[in-house]
């Protein structure tokens, strides 16, 4: 039993997990016990063998791939099923004529509802302004309610009747400047969540064109994410360009370096390099991390122009 | 000034996905390192990575900020590791660098790094394979404790917190894993 404890202590001592008292007692024991000294030699050989095994060192490329997959998975978690896809799905389920009658009735009901909304008169004093200057008051736009997530209810309320439930989509219009936190939040969310790349591109352009709080953390985080992970190269390029004109800090630097390392499009890699050049011209010197990535691009980039630019940036950075 | 973890969590709870991914990027290298050390396979490590952060995303409202986010995150990571069922039940060694090239690509899933040093009885590549096999022989808890202590450098007290175990239990797992590794690797160093 005593030896068992000392054997355990041998392992703990090699990991520096033994306290001072334990180390002292172990040393005293080892001075007098051949068996435990032999065991210690075996433990040392085990550690030497483990040290020779190839270390587990996942590359940045593998991590980057994992991040992209996670990004897609998070979008899928958030995205609601589009109304049109669901509508088409029902239309496809035209197995027997009876279903056509039911669906025809549903279609007529829907059309009738929407027409009623559009055509029913309202007294003038109830007609609100469709566009509001402040994001604090964002009432719905009347007459434009859409429907989604329609479900047939299992019980029929009466003969010849159809029972269903649906969610009403209420569009909201918002107008403001980049100083408006609500507007910034909507833009940031759109940039990372919107499925349509054209909308994402317009969002980046809107952020770029309007002076104001581009250093807002939500906007910056969304731009960084878009520059590094957006599926559309145009969006990535535009997001990078906005970051180039934003205050340079550690997060922006990391974004440029990540793009340099992982971006498949050479023009975008060059744009990232331009960001580092601009930062250097503004007084931010090239640090060790930036030099390391630039050297890697100089030696390993498949694009000749990227290699040439990397050399130029490095040489200018050292004052050659 | 960069936002704190708790600030990013609050923003993520309000639906700010970018804030959540910013939080992920702060901590994901460690998570990936733990996963990769545990399964020693790129595809499985990516699966564990995704499962961990999706669980975090879905449970963010339950995190009460009484402890560090990293503590909670690492606890989820160890849970996912311990319950993970590999899509492939084989325990071959794969390079964790997707761009790595070697001269033995026709050897199939077991790529060995050849060492031509004539004075070595066993090459480093062979030792790597032995270690891989020895790790596969451990129980999930032993393998996880060994990975966290030996490869990731966590203290036993930290491992106990991550796995929600008593420190004595963790010590026992470490001892039994080392004993088992010693037996499996005996022919390497004897």
pLDDT at residue B108, as a whole number: 34
**Spatial separation of the C-alpha atoms in residues A275 and B111, rounded to whole Å:** 40
* Chain B nearest C-alpha distance from A216 (Å): 11
Searching chain B, which residue's CA lies closest to the CA of residue A262? B99
Would the CB atoms of B28 and A12 count as touching at under 8 Å?
no
- On chain A, the residues whose CB falls within 8 A of the CB of B151 are 55-56
- On chain A, the residues whose CB falls within 8 A of the CB of B36 are 56, 58
Give the C-alpha distances (Å, rounded to integers) separating B132 from B86, B170, B184.
Answer: 15, 21, 10
Task: Name residue A147's beta-bridge partners.
Answer: A168
Pick the closest to residue A215 from A251, A191, A175 (CA basis). A251
Query: Which of A12, A57, A217 lies nearest to residue B96, judging by beta carbons?
Result: A57
Work out the angle between the directed axes of helices A60-78 and A217-229 (0-180°, nearest 10). 120
In this prediction the ipTM stands at: 0.78
Q: Report residue B66 CA to chain centroid gap.
A: 25
* Chain B nearest C-alpha distance from A99 (Å): 38
Would the CB atoms of A221 and B19 count as touching at under 8 Å?
yes
Write out pLDDT tens, residues A262-279. 888 999 999 999 999 899
Pick the closest to residue B11 from A172, A189, A223 (CA basis). A189
Write out pLDDT tens, residues A156-204. 556 777 777 777 767 778 888 888 888 888 888 888 878 888 889 989 8
Would the CB atoms of A69 and B50 count as touching at under 8 Å?
yes
* Chain A nearest C-alpha distance from B65 (Å): 21
Q: Measured in Å, how far apart are chain A's first and last C-alpha atoms?
A: 69
Give the C-alpha distances (Å, rounded to integers) separating A292 from A242, A288, A297, B99.
Answer: 25, 6, 9, 19
**pLDDT category of residue A130 using cuts at 50, 70 and 90:** very low
Q: Judge whether residue A135 has pLDDT over 80.
A: no
**pLDDT category of residue A124 using cuts at 50, 70 and 90:** low
Pick the closest to residue A243 from A232, A256, A229 (CA basis). A256
Chain A / chain B CB contacts < 8 angstroms: 148
Would the CB atoms of B42 and A62 count as touching at under 8 Å?
yes
Q: Judge whether residue A154 has pLDDT over 70.
A: no
Searching chain A, which residue's CA lies closest to the CA of residue B181? A46
Q: Report residue B77 CA to chain centroid gap.
A: 8
Would you say how long chain A is, in residues?
320
3-state secondary structure chain B: CCCCHHHHHHHHHCCCHHHHHHHHHHHHHHHHHHHHHHHCCHHHHHHHHHHHHHHHHHHHHHCCCCCCHHHHHHHHHHHHHHHCCCCCCCCCCCCCCCCCCCCCHHHCCCCCCCCCCCCCCCCHHHHHHHHHHHHHHCCHHHHHHHHHHHHCCCCHHHHHHHHCCCHHHHHHHHHHHHHHHHHHCHHHHC
3-state class of A170 per DSSP?
coil
Would the CB atoms of A42 and B182 count as touching at under 8 Å?
yes
Per-residue pLDDT of chain B (190 residues; tens, 9 = 90+): 778 999 999 999 988 888 999 999 999 999 999 999 898 888 899 999 999 999 999 999 989 888 899 999 999 999 999 988 776 554 444 444 444 434 333 333 333 333 333 344 567 778 888 888 888 889 999 999 999 999 889 999 999 999 989 999 999 999 999 999 988 888 776 6
**Spatial separation of the C-alpha atoms in residues A208 and A231, rounded to whole Å:** 20
3-state class of A166 per DSSP?
strand
Residue at token pair 């027997």: A96
Interface test with A, best of B13, B17, B20, B129 (most A CBs within 10 A): B17
Would the CB atoms of B16 and A61 count as touching at under 8 Å?
no
Write out pLDDT tens, residues A26-36. 999 999 999 99
Write out pLDDT tens, residues A295-311. 989 988 989 889 999 99
Q: How is residue A158 annotated by DSSP? A: S
pTM of the predicted protein model: 0.59
Token digits of residue A135: 């994001």
Residue A148 parent element (H or E): strand A146-152
Pick the closest to residue A13 from A45, A37, A35, A40 (CA basis). A40
């Amino acid at each position: 039993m005593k030896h068992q404890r000392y054997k355990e202590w041998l392992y703990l001592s090699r990991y520096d997990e033994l306290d001072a008292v334990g180390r002292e007692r172990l040393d005293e024991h080892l001075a007098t016990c051949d068996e435990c000294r032999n065991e210690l030699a075996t433990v040392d050989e085990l550690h030497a063998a483990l040290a020779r095994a190839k270390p587990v060192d996942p590359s940045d490329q593998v991590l980057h791939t994992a991040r992209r997959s996670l990004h897609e998975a998070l979008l899928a978690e958030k995205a609601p099923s589009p109304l049109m896809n669901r509508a088409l799905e029902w239309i496809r389920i035209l197995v027997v004529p009876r279903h056509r009658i039911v669906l025809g009735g549903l279609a007529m009901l829907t059309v009738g509802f929407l027409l009623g909304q559009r055509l029913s008169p309202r007294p003038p004093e109830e007609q609100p302004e469709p566009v509001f200057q402040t994001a604090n008051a964002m009432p719905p736009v009347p007459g434009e309610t859409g429907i989604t997530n329609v479900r047939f209810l299992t019980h029929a309320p009466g003969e010849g009747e159809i029972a269903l439930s649906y969610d009403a989509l209420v569009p909201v219009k918002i107008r403001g400047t980049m100083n408006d936190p609500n507007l910034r939040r909507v833009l940031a969310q759109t940039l990372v969540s919107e499925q349509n790349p054209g909308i994402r591109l317009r969002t980046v352009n809107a952020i770029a064109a309007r002076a104001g709080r581009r250093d807002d953390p939500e906007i910056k985080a969304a731009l960084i994410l878009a520059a590094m992970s957006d599926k559309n190269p145009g969006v990535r390029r535009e997001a990078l360009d906005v970051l180039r004109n934003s205050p340079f800090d550690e997060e922006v630097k990391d974004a440029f370096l990540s793009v340099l390392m992982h971006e498949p499009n050479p023009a975008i890699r060059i744009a990232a390099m331009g960001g580092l050049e601009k930062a250097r011209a503004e007084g931010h010197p090239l640090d060790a991390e930036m030099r390391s990535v630039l050297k890697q691009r100089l030696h390993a980039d498949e694009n000749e122009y990227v290699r040439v630019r990397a050399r130029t940036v490095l040489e200018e950075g050292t004052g050659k | 000034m960069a936002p704190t973890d708790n600030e990013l969590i609050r923003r993520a709870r309000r639906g700010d996905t970018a804030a959540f991914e910013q939080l992920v990027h702060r901590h994901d290298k460690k998570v990936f390192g733990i996963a990769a050390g545990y399964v020693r396979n790129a595809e499985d490590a990516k699966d564990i990575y995704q499962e961990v952060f999706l669980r975090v995303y879905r449970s963010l409202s339950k995190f009460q900020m009484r402890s560090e986010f990293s503590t909670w995150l690492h606890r989820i990571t160890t849970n996912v590791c311990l319950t993970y069922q590999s899509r492939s039940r084989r325990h071959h060694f794969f390079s964790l660098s997707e761009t790595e090239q070697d001269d033995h690509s026709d050897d199939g899933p077991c790529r060995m790094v050849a060492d031509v040093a004539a004075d070595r009885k066993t090459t480093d590549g062979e030792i790597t394979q032995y270690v891989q096999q020895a790790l596969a022989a451990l129980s999930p808890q032993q393998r996880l404790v060994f990975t966290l202590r030996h490869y990731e450098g966590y203290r036993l007290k930290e491992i106990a917190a991550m796995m929600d175990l008593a420190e004595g239990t963790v010590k026992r797992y470490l001892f039994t894993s080392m004993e088992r590794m010693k037996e499996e690797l005996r022919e390497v160093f004897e």
